[in-house]
Amino acid sequence: MQNIIQVQNVSQRFHSAEGEFLALDNVSFNVRAGETLSLIGHSGCGKSTLLNLIAGLTLPSDGVLLCDNREIAGPGPERAMVFQNHSLLPWLTAQENVALAVDQVFQHSMSRAERQAWIEHNLARVQMSHAAHKRPAELSGGMKQRVGIARALAMKPRVLLMDEPFGALDALTRAHLQDSVMRIQQELNTTIVLITHDVDEAVLLSDRVLMMTNGPAATLGEILTVDLPRPRSRVALADDARYHHLRQQILHFLYEKQRHAA
Ligand SMILES: Nc1ncnc2c1ncn2[C@@H]1O[C@H](COP(=O)(O)OP(=O)(O)OP(=O)(O)O)[C@@H](O)[C@H]1O
pLDDT digits (tens, 9 = 90+) for 13-40: 999 888 999 999 999 999 999 999 999 9
Q: How far apart are CA 188 and CA 199, in angstroms?
A: 25
Could you tell me which of 39, 35, 55 has the C-alpha nearest to residue 47? 39
Q: What's the average model confidence in pLDDT over 243-255? A: 96
142 lines ligand 1 (CB under 6 A): no
Q: Is the pLDDT of residue 242 over 80?
A: yes
Domains present along the chain, CATH in parentheses: 3-78+159-257 (3.40.50.300), 89-156 (no CATH)
215 lines ligand 1 (CB under 6 A): yes
pLDDT tens for 57-88 read: 999 999 999 999 999 999 999 999 998 877 89
What strand order describes the sheet that includes 70-71? 19-32, 3-16, 62-67, 70-71
pLDDT tens for 105-131 read: 999 999 999 999 999 999 999 999 999
Q: How far apart are CA 172 and CA 141, in angstroms?
A: 12
ipTM value: 0.97
14 lines ligand 1 (CB under 6 A): yes
For ligand 1, atom 4: residue with the closest CA:
14
Neighbour-count burial of 43, counting CB atoms closer than 10 A to its CB (0-12 exposed, 13-18 middle, 19+ buried) = exposed
Q: Which atom of ligand 1 is nearest to the CA of 216?
A: 29
Could you tell me which of 134, 157, 158, 106 has the C-alpha nearest to residue 146? 134
For ligand 1, atom 3: residue with the closest CA:
14
pTM score: 0.94
For ligand 1, atom 18: residue with the closest CA:
46
Check: CB of residue 37 under 8 Å from CB of residue 57.
Answer: no
- The predicted pLDDT at position 163 comes to 94
